[in-house]
Structures are given as C-alpha cells and as structure tokens.
Amino acid sequence: MRMLVLVTSLGMLLASTLGVSAGPLVNGSFEDPVLPNDGRFDYTVPTGWTVYTDQTCNPQMLRYTSGTVPVPDGVQYAQIQTLASTAGTYAGFYQTFDVTPGQLYIISGWFRPLSGTSIARVGVDLNGGTQRPTEWGAVLDGAISQTWTEFSFEVTAVGPSMTIFLDHTQNGTKSGRATAFDGIKVVVPEPASLGTLLAGTVGLVGLRTRRRK
C-alpha cells in the first residue's frame, strides 16, 4: 500500500510540475471572438481584454488566414489605433488575472508599431490595478510595419493579482497610428531540471521498497 501511495504522489507531482507552463492569461492569442473572414474589424475588443485611452481610439481585431501579413500565433491578432492628432496620445488593452504572491512569471509575445511615430509597450501593474504603468518591461519604437518583434521579460508577483498592459503611444501629430499585438503569454518558468526531480523521487520509491524486504 505504501508503494501505491508513493507512486500516486509522484504522478500528482509530475502533473503539477508539467502544468506550470499554463499561464493565467485569457485569449492572449486574440482568437476570440472568431472573425468571419480576412480583414480588419474596427471597434472590436478581444474577449477578456479592456480598452483604455487618454483621448479617443479605435480598438481593432484582424484575421488573416490567407493574407500577406504574417501572424505569429493563430490566424488573428489585435491592434489599437489612436484617433487624436496629439503627440503623446496613448491607448491600449489591459487584463487583470490571478497570480501567486512571490511567484516568478515570464511575460512574452509579439508586437509591431505600424508607423515610425508609434511606440509599442508592454508593462504590468503588480498590484492588479488599472492605472497605466510608468515603467515598461518591453518597448519597441518605430518598427517596420510588416515585421513582428518578439519580446520577453520577467516579473515577480507581489499580491494575488496582476494587470498586463498592451500599450500604443504616438509621438507624431498625425492621427490613425496603430500598434499590433499577438501571442501574449504569462507563464511560470519550468523547473531547471525535471530529470533531477524524477531521479530523486524514483530513488525514494526504491528506498522504501528495499526497506520492506
């Protein structure tokens, strides 16, 4: 019976360990809602996300199953477009989700500014609030519109919830500038060595078995 209990515990441990890559974020690939055909859908907010802006903006979702624009994750992506002609105008999407205090998380994804006067930023509020951050984990200034750039940074949770911000800021005074986002993930890092964990646990099983003989 002891052998059975130990093996069951090993299975539970493995399930827990292998599941650490499942992040708490909802709809980070922007596949929901499912759009009916290729093209851009203005004033469409991705499921699970909320729009914020200091002036006016046009939240958008795009679907490209056969288009020329590459999509890093799935067939859809989201972008935010500012409609004001004021330098420094910003807008974006945010989402609050549950985390474990003290746990390290990796935030990663793809973004691309759609003009030379656009700045793409990704940041977090470690307290789970909805106040736009003043410090950013990833910043991309004026990339070529057809080029996606991958980003990744680490944060340590301080409370039971955290908020991620996908931000677009325009430096110029021409309205209609936008930033695209896709494949946003929030995951717990994998253990440094799963093999070491397995070896130690299996060795414990062997030790318990020998003691019974």
Q: Residue 35 maps to which CATH number?
A: 2.60.120.260
Residues 109 and 95 reside in one and the same domain: yes
Looking at residue 67, what is its pLDDT?
A: 64
Q: Which pLDDT does position 192 carry in this prediction?
A: 59
User: What pLDDT shows up at residue 143?
Assistant: 67
Question: Is the Cβ–Cβ distance between 107 and 122 less than 8 Å?
Answer: yes
Residues 105 and 154 in one domain: yes
The tally of domains found in the chain comes to: 2
- pLDDT value of position 23: 63
One domain, residues 3 and 77 = no
Residue 117 has a pLDDT of 79
Q: Do 63 and 151 belong to one domain?
A: yes
Q: Which of 124, 116, 106 is nearest to 140 (CA)?
A: 116
pLDDT at 13 (0 to 100): 38
Structure token digits, residue 202: 């299996």
Q: Check whether residue 141 and residue 208 sit in a common domain.
A: no
CA distances from 47 to 27, 131, 150 (A): 7, 20, 22
The beta strand positions in the chain, using DSSP E, are: 39-42, 50-53, 57-63, 76-82, 90-98, 104-113, 118-125, 138-141, 149-156, 161-170, 178-187
Query: Are 117 and 207 found together in one domain?
Result: no
How confident is the model at residue 40, as a pLDDT? 92
Q: Give SS3 for 67.
A: coil
Task: Give the DSSP H/E element, type plus range, for residue 106.
Answer: strand 104-113
Distance between CA 210 and CA 205 in Å, rounded?
A: 9
Indicate if 79 and 182 belong to the same structural domain. Answer: yes
pTM score of the predicted model: 0.79
Helix 2-18 vs helix 194-212: angle between axes, to the nearest 10 degrees?
180
Among 46, 86, 90, which Cα is nearest to 184's? Answer: 46
- Are the C-beta atoms of 174 and 117 separated by less than 8 Å? yes
| Whether 87 and 158 share a structural domain | yes
The C-alpha atoms of residue 100 and residue 78 are separated, in whole angstroms, by 28
Peptide bond into 133 cis (omega under 30): no
pLDDT, residue 125, reads 97
Residues 161 and 204 in one domain: no
Report DSSP state, residue 23: -
Range of the domain at 200: 1-22+192-213
40's tokens: 């851009």
Q: Which residue has the tokens 């003989």?
A: 213
* CA 47 to the chain's CA centroid: 14
Asked if residue 80 lies in contact with residue 59, where contact means CB atoms within 8 angstroms, the answer is yes
- pLDDT beneath 70, residues of the chain: 1-23, 66-69, 143, 192-213
- Which pLDDT belongs to residue 153? 97
42 and 57, same domain (yes or no): yes
Residues 51 and 155 grouped into a single domain: yes
Q: How far apart are CA 132 and CA 43, in angstroms?
A: 21
What pLDDT score does 15 carry? 34
Q: Are 156 and 198 part of one and the same domain?
A: no
